[in-house]
Each structure stands twice: as structure tokens, then as C-alpha cells.
Amino acid sequence: MTEQLTVTASNPDGRVTVLTVSGELDRDSVHELEQAGEAALRSGAERLVLDLHGLTFCDSSGLRVFVHLHRLADSEGASLRLAGATPPVSAVIGVVNLDRMLTLHPTVNDALS
């Protein structure tokens, strides 16, 4: 049984949006993260942090959303940072060399500083 994706937003200082992502990110659930990330960036967030510590699975659809949000952030004059990726998720990111494009941090606090 797949673990349902949940995306929870917080704004620690008004300029930064943290989206806490948990469950499985795949073609059936990717729209939730995409919509939340787009909304945060279009509302003026200067930095979007994806807290991935609860993400248990990510397929190519999820990777596509990471790239999309990175490009959207760049076009909006903002930045995207990924934090707390579990070994299975960070391995997928690394295998396709997205770690060269995306900024990865061990914790949300590191991504916020």
C-alpha cells in the first residue's frame, strides 16, 4: 500500500516558505507539491525550502517537480533548497546528477541559514 503524500506549509519569517513533504511522491501525487510550491513562489517567497525528511519514495515525476520549482524560483528571483532528504531519495537525486543543479542540505535549519 502506498503512503499518501502530504504537504504542509509554514512561513518562519515571512520571506521563506518551508514545505514539509511526507509520504510517496509519484505521478499520482506530484500535483500537490507542484501546486504548493508554485503558490509559495508566486506569493513572493524569497526562498522555498522543501523539507524531505518524511519523503519515503520519489520517482521521475517528483524529480521533474524539483527541477520545475528550481526554474520557477530562479525566474521569480528566489531560491529553492532541499533539506533532510532520506538516503533513498538523495540517491535518486544523485544518480541523475540533479545534485549539481539543486541545493541539498542535511537539515531545514541548514537550509534556512
pTM: predicted TM-score of the whole model, two decimal places: 0.94
pLDDT digits (tens, 9 = 90+) for 7-43: 999 987 879 999 999 999 999 999 999 999 999 999 9
32 grid coordinates: 500537490
The yes-or-no verdict on residue 1 having pLDDT over 70 is no
DSSP state of 113: -
Q: How many CA atoms, within 13 angstroms, populate the side-chain half-sphere of residue 98?
A: 23
CATH number for the domain whose boundaries are 6-112: 3.30.750.24
Overall average pLDDT of the 72-96 stretch:
96
Q: Per-residue confidence at 73, pLDDT binned at 50, 70, 90?
A: very high
Q: Where are the beta strands (DSSP E) in the chain?
A: 6-10, 16-25, 47-58, 79-83, 103-105
